[in-house]
Amino acid sequence: MTPNDRTIEALRRRIPSFTCVAGCHDCCGPVTASSEEVTRLPVKTDAEHAIALSELDCPYLGKSGCQVYGERPLICRLFGTTPRLPCPNGMRPVDMVDEKTELDVHGFLAKTRQVLL
C-alpha cells in the first residue's frame, strides 16, 4: 500500500456517512479524483466517459445509482457532509465533517494528480 493509499483510507474513515434519498443522483456529475482513487475503479472506455460528460454525469452512475459506491472518490464522500457541498435534498449526517478533515481532503486532492471522471 502506497503512502497516498494510506492517506485515502485514513481520510475515508474521518468522513461521516449518511443515507441518501433513494434514486437520487443530484450530486453525481463530473468530478476529479486522484489517480490512486481512479485505479480502484473499473476501467471505462473513452466513449463511456464522453457520453457521461456530455450529460454532465459520472461514468459510474448507473440506473440504480452509483455503481462504485464503496470505492467512490473522496470528493464524492464529502457531498452532503459539509455546508460547502450541501445535499440538494437536505440530507446530511448527524454530525457534519469537521473542518480539519475537509481541509485535509482538499489539501490531499490539491497535491495529487487529478483525473476527470
Amino acid at 31: V
Per-residue confidence (pLDDT) for residue 23, from 0 to 100: 82
| Tens-digit pLDDT string for the chain (117 aa) | 899 999 999 999 999 999 888 888 888 889 999 999 999 999 999 999 999 999 999 999 998 889 999 999 999 999 999 999 999 999 999 999 999 999 999 999 999 999 999
| 49-82 pLDDT per residue, tens | 999 999 999 999 998 889 999 999 999 999 999 9
What grid cell was written down for 52? 457521461
DSSP secondary structure of 10-66: HHHHHS---PPPTT--TT-S--EEEHHHHTTSPP--HHHHHHHHHTT--TTEETTEE
Integer Cα distance of 15 and 54 in angstroms: 30
- Of all helices (H) and strands (E), which one includes residue 77? helix 74-78
